[in-house]
Amino acid sequence: MILNSLNPAQQEAVQAPLGHQLILAGAGSGKTRVLTHRIAWLVEKEKISPFNILAVTFTNKAANEMRTRIESILHLSAKSMWLGTFHGLSHRFLRSHWQEAGLSQSFQILDSDDQFRMIRRVVQALNLDEDRFPPKEVQWFINAQKEEGREPHQVEPRDIAGQTFIRIYQAYQEACQRTGVIDFADLLLKTCKLLQTNAELRAHYQTRFRCLLVDEFQDTNNIQYTWLKLFAGEESAVMIVGDDDQSIYGWRGAKIENLHRFSKDFPGARIIRLEQNYRSTSVILEAANALIAQNSGRLGKNLWTEGQHGDPITIYAGFNETDEAFFIVNRIRELRGTYQL
């Protein structure tokens, strides 16, 4: 049942022997189905308890859908499995280990707006000019440092202004500590710092999680990669799913290099390519393959489909964003009328 409806490459990924696996999954290749069925396979065929599985998804919605699908396939509860986003799982971890992490038991999490207001108060308390040190820019600086795993004392100042940014960062962290709050970036940073400094706790989780799976790996940043390495023990089997052709979050710290370095940090990793596309026509895939082939340093794959050849690709050059929006809306209306949608 687990392998039903899967193509040969998907079946290969789902049935892969325990060990490290890098699943190169092209757009529309059914990677969510593969992850879901892989977890079901681990539980039913490899006899891995859900308690010993950690799975990371990109969104909470994806995590909820995956849990529902797994429970539907196996006809059992998967509540004991750690399944969620990096931030969600880190939150769960810190709620369990708030004392070791130096947090208050009832710590609260700042959203982006609350963080901005906190930073602005800190800038004002330091009698700094908001024009020279805009709170929004400081917020970006602080979050960027945390995504690289750097606390204030670990940041190297580039100039006098940089020294001031670090001073604001330090004052902000102290303000958060006093008021019993942390921000989203702290969830990962504090989790990593605790696992790095507490060998007993690190060993506990590395022993517990026999199998770790991470989706959308091309979108991970440095702190997330460190997070994975800290939870994965020497005997753990790690499967990552990603696509170096779909890396679009570099502007917010994502490192495509994480996908490329996985095989070095997790020796013996096997690469499995999911190249059959279920979303697009042949015309679109041929154009996409030709375009992305110009990129250097790719791990390499070639998307194909058994579906329709499709209509020729046409290009519309809009005058501006508004013109482009009107064109798209009108085209959608035409298609709805044609196909009675």
**Predicted local confidence at residue 161, as pLDDT:** 87
Q: Give domain status of residue 127, yes or no.
A: yes
Q: Which two tokens stand for residue 177?
A: 């500590």
Pairing mode, if any, of strands 82-84 and 270-274?
A: unpaired
Picking from 254, 279, 304, the residue at the C-terminal end of a domain is 279
Q: Is residue 126 part of a domain?
A: yes
State the residue for tokens 């769960």: 92
Asked if residue 170 and residue 212 are part of one domain, the reply reads: no
pLDDT of 158 reads 85
Dist. CA 228–CA 216, nearest whole Å: 13
Whether 117 and 66 map to the same domain: the answer is: no
Neighbours of 59 (CB within 10 A): 13
Same domain membership, residue 40 and residue 15: yes
The reply to whether 22 and 166 lie within a common domain is no
CATH number at residue 171: 1.10.10.160
Instruction: Tell whether 55 is covered by a domain.
Output: yes
Residue 131 lies inside a defined structural domain of this protein: yes
Give the domain extent around 273.
8-91+189-279
b/e per residue 263-298 (b: at least 16 CB within 10 A): eeebeebeebbbbbbeebbbebbbebbeebeeeeee
- Map tokens 């079946």 to a residue: 11
Following CA atoms 188, 192, 193, 194 in sequence, which dihedral angle do they give, to the nearest 10 degrees?
110
Give the closest residue to 305 by CA, choosing from 327, 274, 331.
274
Overall number of domains in the chain: 2
Note whether 78 and 130 are same-domain residues. Answer: no
60 domain-assigned: yes
- Report pTM: 0.91
**Whether residue 270 sits in one domain with residue 237:** yes
d(CA 220, CA 226): 10
Cβ of 28: how many Cβ atoms within 10 Å? 16
Do 75 and 211 have their domain in common?
Answer: yes
Q: Does 87 share its domain with 115?
A: no
Residues 63, 116: one domain?
A: no
- Last residue within a domain, chosen from 222, 256, 279: 279
- 63 and 114 in a single domain? The answer is no
The pLDDT value given to residue 159? 86
Q: Which pLDDT does position 252 carry in this prediction?
A: 78
Looking at the fold, whether 42 and 173 belong to one and the same domain comes out as no
What pLDDT tens digit does each residue of the chain (341 aa) get? 799 889 999 999 999 999 999 999 999 999 999 999 999 999 999 999 999 999 999 999 999 999 999 999 999 888 899 999 999 999 999 999 999 999 999 999 999 999 999 999 999 999 999 999 999 999 999 999 999 999 999 999 888 889 999 999 999 999 999 999 999 999 999 999 999 999 999 999 999 999 999 999 999 999 999 999 999 999 999 999 999 988 888 887 889 899 989 999 999 999 999 999 999 999 999 999 999 999 888 888 999 999 999 999 999 999 999 999 999 999 999 999 998 87
Per-residue pLDDT at 251: 82
Task: Give domain status of residue 229, yes or no.
Answer: yes
Domain holding 215: CATH number? 3.40.50.300
Q: Is 309 part of a structural domain of the chain? A: no
Residue that terminates a domain, selected from 152, 179, 206: 179
The verdict on residue 22 lying in a domain is yes
285 alpha-carbon distance from chain centroid? 25
| Same-domain pairing of 225 and 151 | no
Report the alpha-carbon distance of residue 240 to residue 41 in Å, rounded: 16
Please give, one letter per residue, the 3-state secondary structure of the chain: CCCCCCCHHHHHHHHCCCCCEEEEECCCCCHHHHHHHHHHHHHHCCCCCHHHEEEECCCHHHHHHHHHHHHHHHCCCCCCCEEECHHHHHHHHHHHCCCCCCCCCCCEEECHHHHHHHHHHHHHHCCCCCCCCCHHHHHHHHHHHHHCCCCHHHCCCCCHHHHHHHHHHHHHHHHHHHHCEEEHHHHHHHHHHHHHHCHHHHHHHHHHCCEEEECCHHHCCHHHHHHHHHHCCCCCEEEEEECHHHCCCHHHCCCCHHHHHHHHHCCCCEEEEECECCCCCHHHHHHHHHHHCCCCCCCCCCCECCCCCCCCCCCCCCCCHHHHHHHHHHHHHHHHHHHCC
